[in-house]
Amino acid sequence: METLRKSKVPGPTGPVVLAIMDGVGIGKYSEGDAVRSALKPHLDWLKANALACQLKAHGKAVGLPSDADMGNSEVGHNAIGCGRVYDQGAMLVNAAIASLAMFRGEVWTKLIRNCREHNGTLHFIGLFSDGNVHSHLDHLKAMLIQAKKDGIRKARIHILLDGRDVGETSALNYVDPFETFLAGLNADKSVDYRIASGGGRMAITMDRYNANWAMVKRGWDTHVRGIGPQFTSAREAIEAHRKAKPGVIDQDLPPFVIASGGKPVGPIVDGDSVIYFNFRGDRAIEISRAFEDDDFDTFDRSPRPTVEYAGMMQYDGDLKIPKQYLVTPPAINRTMGELLSHAGVRQLAISETQKYGHVTYFFNGNRSGKFDEKLEEYVEIPSDIIPFEQRPWMKAAEITDYVLNAIRENKFPFIRLNFPNGDMVGHTGVYQATQIAVETVDLCLGRLMEAVKEARGILVVSADHGNADDMFEHDDKTGKVKTDPITGKPQAKTSHSLNPVPCYIYDPAGTAGLTLSAAASKGLGISSLAATCMMLLGFVPPQDYDKSIVEIKN
């Protein structure tokens, strides 16, 4: 492991604090920008008085296939933490499918062979959209086409409705064409491929960070056991749930089971093979554990079927979850946290449950453990299990309280924290709540600024991607806000934005003699935050790290 070299300019007396405002970008439109409309005196002050620039946080700047792809918290924290841009999940899966490497691999071959030997069904579970954040429908279609070529006679698809990375009530825009696609595969009667179950992504299956295992149990009961409200088709289920609960958005739709003659068409049983086709890891680990762990005791899985299970990727390389996977994830090494640990720098990482894994696991290059137990402290503030629009302040105050004490104690030269509010509340589509979420973060930043000033430290404020800055759907050509044809109100947007994010560097003591670097005006991405923080701490960043946002006078 390389050793960081000290620079000629020492770090500040107090800590360098990196505050990540999750989902707070710089909006393109005034209408629907909950960041712009929020009362945020501290952010406004930083924009006017601190070193300020914009950073790219989507598309190729964070390792995604194209600049039409929105950034997300996983790839964002990977980029921030490792200081470089790696090809990420979607791009790696695209390449594995295009080259046919996925279908020639040992795991795909094993799953296909298992179905043949046991006359089993090939099951697919995953997020059912083309949002390209957790999954992409094109990947599912490619696997179904290949499964037919490989002689798999029976496949069942368990769909997790999105409404978060895509339009909030767009489910049928995906279900209807997909049913046509399946009809095409089934036309020659050689195969029987059907949707078997489903539900909203925030209702079943896709929990993360052990926040709400009841979601995973509902998913298990729905997909595996075939227990739940029965319908003859996914369209019928979606329409019925919407009628029963007017205004519900796709991510919150209750579970459903597709049945024929009163019997579920696709429970998962002994001898079947199962592919969880999400490539992003945070909302894939718990359901993978439910399939794989022999000593699992979180909920009753009985009867637990004996199956061959695989993920699209390995979601946790340290814990080896899952054991089998179709595409090898990026091998991210030499992250900022690792290099600072080897340099003997004490570090604090903190957020609430919803983003705790982002400032630890993803920040550390998809690594779940610490680099040095003696030098690192990771703090998780438990999130409330309640709709975020009902508590838009979330746990920002508690995170701030802990960080303020750490700043005063001055035992951590580097502190990183994540305020989840802009992202988690932004995903609800509720404008008022999202505006309050941004104002909450601003209030907490004000408290951090005071503490950093008193400690003679440096505060770096940025974000991993946009969301709260783009709360309404806009026409791509005119920019005009789209309205709901029934209510006449603006159509809420619940997905991330393609907007840049701010970066503010607040050095109240002026000890570092900071100026913006020559590279800062040339469209840097959030990956440049790592080299920036290293320079502020008094180190020379590795040569292959993306350029720093600041220059320091000798």
Q: Write out the catalytic residue numbers.
A: 73
Amino acid type, 129: S
| Cα(496)–Cα(70) distance, integer angstroms | 6
Check: CB of residue 48 under 8 Å from CB of residue 256.
no
DSSP helix/strand/coil, 302: coil
Sign of CA dihedral 49, 50, 53, 54: negative
Q: Provide the β-strand partners of residue 56.
A: 525
Q: How far is CA 145 from CA 139, 140, 309, 381, in A?
A: 10, 9, 19, 45
Amino acid type, 336: M
What is the DSSP annotation of 186-199? Answer: HTTSS-EEEEEEEE
254's tokens: 């209750």
Burial class (CB in 10 A: 0-12, 13-18, 19+), 450: middle
What is the DSSP annotation of 20-61? Answer: EETT----S-STT-TTTSS--HHHHHHHHHSEEEEEB-SGGG
How open is the CA angle 314-320-326, to the nearest 5 degrees?
30
Q: What is the DSSP letter of 250?
A: G
Amino acid type, 307: V
DSSP helix/strand/coil, 510: coil
Q: How far is CA 65 from CA 59, 88, 127, 398, in A?
A: 6, 8, 19, 37
Report phi then psi at 238, rounded to 5: -65, -45
141's tokens: 């279609």
Where in 375-421 does DSSP place strands (E)?
376-381, 414-419
Amino acid type, 438: V
| Cα(237)–Cα(242) distance, integer angstroms | 9
In terms of phi and psi (left: phi > 0; alpha: psi -120 to 50; beta: otherwise), the region of 199 is left
| Cα(38)–Cα(221) distance, integer angstroms | 42
Check: CB of residue 503 under 8 Å from CB of residue 529.
yes
| Cα(542)–Cα(531) distance, integer angstroms | 8
Which residue, 106, 110, 129, is CA-closest to 120?
Answer: 110
356's tokens: 């705790």
| Cα(207)–Cα(185) distance, integer angstroms | 32
Check: CB of residue 426 under 8 Å from CB of residue 24.
no
**Radius of gyration over every alpha carbon of the chain, rounded to an integer in angstroms:** 24
Check: CB of residue 434 under 8 Å from CB of residue 428.
yes
